[in-house]
Amino acid sequence: MIASSHDTGTAQSRASRTPLCASMDTLSRGAVASCHDDGVATKFTHAQQFNGSPDVVMAMLRDPDYVTEKCDRTGSLETTASIEETDDGGCVITSVRVLPAKVPSAAKKFVGETITVTETQRWTPLAADGSASAEATVEFSAPMSFAATITLAGSDGGSVITTSGAFKASVPFIGGSIEGSAAELTTKYLDVEESVGNEWLAR
C-alpha cells in the first residue's frame, strides 16, 4: 500500500423534509428525510454532476491537493488529507477538517465552537463501465455520526456522484435538530465541492 498526505491551515442548496416511510426515490438532489419515533434518524441523498469522464473524476478524487482544496474552500479552518492505495486498485481517502460549529444554540454545550470532522471513503477500483463505489463514514467531535454509500457513474458525457446515507445524533430531545442542521450544511458543502471539482477539471 502507498500513502500520501497533505496538511494545511486555513457551503448552498435546498433540503426538503418528508417522512422516512416515503421511498428514497422521492428524495431528489439534496433531499433530507426525517422521522422521530423511538429514536431519531435523518436520511440524506445528494447528487453531484462533474464535467469529466469517471476515470478523470476518480483521478481528481484521489489527488490529495484536490482533497485539501475542496476542504479549505468549504470552510475548513485546518485540513489534513491522505490517500492510501489498496492492493485491488481501489483507495482509501481520508480527510480531517476543523469547522466552525454551526448548530442550534441549544446544542452548543454538546458541540463547542468548532467541530473536528474525520471523513473516510473506501473506494473500489473502477469497473469496466467506469463505475465505482465507496463506503463512507464521517465521525464528528460531537455526539453524531454519518454513514453513506457513494457511487460514481458516467452521465451524459460527464459523471455523477451520488451520496446516500443517514445522520445519527445521540443527544436527547434535540438530536433531530442537530441532524437536520448537519444535513443542510452537508448539502451546502457538497454543492461547493461540486463547483470546486468542476473548476479543477477545467484547469
Higher pLDDT, 69 or 31: 69
Higher pLDDT, 163 or 17: 163
Least confident segment among 20-24, 31-35, 85-89, 93-97? 20-24
- pTM comes to 0.76
pLDDT value of residue 16: 35
DSSP state for residue 30 in the 8-state scheme: T
Cell numbers 450544511 correspond to: 185
What are the residue boundaries of the structural domains of the chain, listed by start? 44-201
Residues 100-142: tens digit of each pLDDT? 876 556 555 656 678 899 999 999 999 999 999 999 999 988 7
Element counts in the chain: helices (H) and strands (E):
4, 10
What is the average pLDDT value for the chain, to the nearest integer? Answer: 79
Cell numbers 459523471 correspond to: 159
pLDDT value of residue 174: 52
Q: What value does the CA radius of gyration of the chain take, rounded to a whole number of Å?
A: 17
C-alpha to C-alpha distance for 27 and 122, rounded to whole angstroms: 24
Residues in the chain, total: 203
Q: Closest by alpha carbon to 188, among 13, 6, 10? A: 13
Q: Closest by alpha carbon to 119, among 177, 61, 181? A: 61
44-201, which class in CATH? alpha beta
Residues 178-200: tens digit of each pLDDT? 677 778 888 999 999 999 999 99
pLDDT value of residue 20: 31
Taking residues 160-185, what's their average pLDDT? 77
Taking residues 5-23, what's their average pLDDT? 39
Higher pLDDT, 164 or 142: 164
Taking residues 30-34, what's their average pLDDT? 48
Residues 65-111: tens digit of each pLDDT? 999 999 999 889 999 999 999 999 999 999 999 988 765 565 556 56
